[in-house]
Amino acid sequence: MLSRRNFLTRSAAVLASAAAISSRAEAAAIPEAPTNASAAMQPPLPPPSGQDYQPVVTLNGWTLPWRMNGEWKEFHLVAEEVTREIAPGMTVNLWGYNGQTPGPTIEAVEGDRVRIYVTNKLPEHTTVHWHGMLVPNGMDGVGGLTQPHIPPGKTFVYEFLLKKSGTFMYHPHSDEMVQMAMGMMGMVAVHPRDGSLHRVDRDFVFIMSAYRFNPGTSLPQVTEMTDFNIWTWNARVFPGIDVLPARLGDRVRIRMGNLTMTNHPIHLHGHDFRVTSTDGGWVPETAQSPETTTDVPVGAVRVLEFLADAPGDWAFHCHKSHHTMNAMGHDVKNFIGVPPRALSQALNRAAPGAMAMGTTGMADMAEMGMPLPPNTLPMMTGTGPFGPIEMGGMFSMVKVREGLAPNDYRDPGWYQHPQGSVAYEVNVAQAGEPARPPGAGDSPGMEMPGGMDMPGMKPGGGHNNH
Ligand SMILES: [Cu+2]
């Protein structure tokens, strides 16, 4: 039974150990909080002497420098307002850490003792939760439950031993809906103590976040629940997302965290991969299966690994096609197959002077160069060596090349396909039309999009009346 006396003694013990921690931390000056506002991928931080690992690179981001203080590896995060270029043409106001969102990747080694200072420069309180990490309860960062919230202007310290290697995330557990919708998040990579375990040649990391920006604005709608329109990797959309270069024959790891409000089936072309770990730990080899798409659930990490054995520019993207589009593409009605003349007549009645578009699909829109509201990206964009790529959002490329230098992460440019290895047009007139049944492929007549009344078009389309 817990007597009052016992309780007081215990409380005193807790206070004494808390005091010990803070006097330890205060014994040395608070470490510098480096800052970086650039969306350019920063070079990986090589391991200090005595440690052996292949450092991670963060797409459009960086690794947080640290200092050693006795046996402690000390980091300093500053929660603050930031601006972020989502892609050239769109810069927004968000919250993040140390100058950008997502915050810098925290990188360390299993068995390290880490001390992480968190300074709150936001206008409201915050905390940092170490998602997936095995920490003492009082270091878990759940405001109100395991610690007081960190008030604006204050600095708190988290101290724990890194019990296991793997890939984790950090984010607030204070006013979560707002703070995550404003971009408060980052990744943690913990390497195995034994540098020969789970070794790769290239180790990429990014986190997925999603936003609702009304066209022309630069502040996200933080109360949005479902209708997001900017789908990002490290708060960037295609063509603003860094490519992932790999040398032919490299073993490549990609660590992906998801703090959006929906799942993302991430697909890699040209290779098969295995999911080697999650935020729960390493997946035993006997439980891994070959995949080309893996779903990254909400609030989870998936880490894929593959041998880069096929030269080329390989698309790497979310397979929800709305997530490879930017704003503006979500409220457009489907006019495919509608006769352009009927459509312009109807549009002219509703909105004189409006332009009929998209009657053959939406590919034209990538090339149309339509005027957009300021600070708004076209819904699909990007140009490749063969024309428009017609993507946006969560899309990038794994670029496999012979002979890249080991730590060279620069974009190697477009792949030069060996002669005769690209899909090509056949001359049908010369080869002769293939035989098809009469009428095959003729348009059956199209239903009009909901609510539109078109002269001369029967509701329900042609087939219903056969
Ligand atoms: Cu997605």
Confidence class for position 358, pLDDT limits 50, 70, 90: low
Distance 383 CA to ligand 1 centre (A): 21
Q: How many domains, in total, are found in the chain?
A: 2
Instruction: Tell me which residues have their CB within 5 A of the ion that is ligand 1.
Output: 264, 318, 320, 323
Label residue 109 by pLDDT band (50, 70, 90): very high
- Tell me how far the alpha carbon of residue 323 lies from the centroid of ligand 1, in angstroms: 5
144 Cα–ligand 1 center, Å: 33
Nearest to 248 by CA among 316, 189, 306, 315: 306
- Distance, CA of 182 to CA of 187 (rounded, Å): 16
Distance, in Å, from the CA atom of 253 to the CA atom of 382, rounded to the nearest integer, reads 26
Q: Residue 291: is its pLDDT beyond 90?
A: yes
Instruction: Judge whether 36 lies within some domain.
Output: yes
Residue 428 lies in a domain: no
> 134: CA distance to ligand 1 center in Å?
28
Report CA dihedral (131, 137, 138, 141) to the nearest 10 degrees: 20
Share of the chain above pLDDT 90, in %: 68
C-alpha 305/C-alpha 244 separation (Å) is 13
Output the CA–CA distances (angstroms, integers) from residue 414 to 81, 388, 399, 411, in the order listed.
36, 14, 8, 9
Q: From ligand 1's centre to the CA of 253, what distance in Å?
A: 20
How far does residue 324's CA lie from ligand 1's centre (Å)? 7
Parent domain of 346: 331-371
Q: Mark whether 285 and 367 lie in a shared domain.
A: no
Return the pLDDT at 461. Answer: 38
Is 302 in contact with 275 (CB distance < 8 Å)?
yes
Least confident of 68-72, 150-154, 274-278, 333-337: 333-337
CA 264 – ligand 1 centroid, Å: 4
Residue 461 lies in a domain: no
Residue 188 lies in a domain: yes
Shared domain check, 116 and 224: yes
**260 C-alpha vs ligand 1 centroid, how far in Å?**
9
Same domain, 340 and 192: no
Token pair 């440019």: residue:
413
**Looking at the domain assignment, is residue 90 inside a domain?**
yes
- Measured in Å, residue 265 CA sits from the centre of ligand 1 at 6
Range in 69-73, 170-174, 362-366 the model is least confident about: 362-366
DSSP state, residue 291: B
CA 318–ligand 1 middle distance (angstroms) = 5
Cβ atoms within 10 A of the Cβ of 393, count?
A: 29
297 with 359, same domain? no
pLDDT band at 459 (very low <50, low <70, confident <90, very high): very low
Classify residue 388: in a domain, yes or no.
no
CATH of the domain at 276: 2.60.40.420
Same domain, 272 and 367: no
DSSP character string of 5-64? HHHHHHHHHHHHHHHHHHHHHHHSPPPP-------SPPPP-PPPTT------EETT--B-
Same domain, 355 and 208: no
Shared-domain flag, residues 303 and 345 = no
What is the 259 CA–ligand 1 centroid distance (Å)? 11
Q: How far is the CA of 356 from the centre of ligand 1 (A)?
A: 30
Structure tokens at 351: 């909105």
**Is the pLDDT at 98 greater than 60, yes or no?**
yes
How many angstroms separate the alpha carbon of residue 399 from the centre of ligand 1? 21
Find how far residue 360's CA is from the centre of its chain.
Answer: 31
Task: Give the Å distance between the CA of 321 and the centre of ligand 1.
Answer: 8
Asked whether residue 246 falls in the same domain as residue 342, the answer is no
More confident residue, 57 or 334: 57
Ligand 1 mean position, distance from CA 428 (Å): 39
The CA 151 to ligand 1 mean position distance, Å, reads: 34
- The answer to whether 174 and 125 are in contact (CB under 8 A) is yes
Examine the domain organization and report whether 127 and 190 are in the same domain: yes
Distance of CA 445 to the CA centre of its chain: 41
CB-based contact 138:146 (threshold 8 Å): yes
Task: Band the pLDDT of 429: cuts 50, 70, 90.
Answer: confident
Closest CA to 281 of 302, 307, 254, 256: 302
Cα 107 from Cα 367, distance rounded (Å): 42
This prediction has a pTM of 0.84
Distance between Cα 329 and ligand 1 center (Å): 15
Output the CA 351–ligand 1 centroid distance in Å. Answer: 34
Query: Using 50, 70 and 90 to split pLDDT, how confident is the model at 337?
Result: low
Same domain, 200 and 341: no
In residues, how long is the chain? 466
How many angstroms does the Cα of residue 298 sit away from the middle of ligand 1?
Answer: 11
Which residue matches tokens 């490549």? Answer: 252
- The token pair that represents 416 in the structure block: 């030069």
Are 233 and 273 members of one domain? yes
Contact 90, 377 (CB under 8 A): yes
Cα of 327 vs centre of ligand 1, distance in Å, is 14
Name the nearest CA neighbour of 206 among 181, 179, 236. Answer: 236
Together in a domain, 139 and 23: yes
Task: Give a yes or no: residue 464 inside a domain.
Answer: no
Q: Is residue 410 domain-resident?
A: no
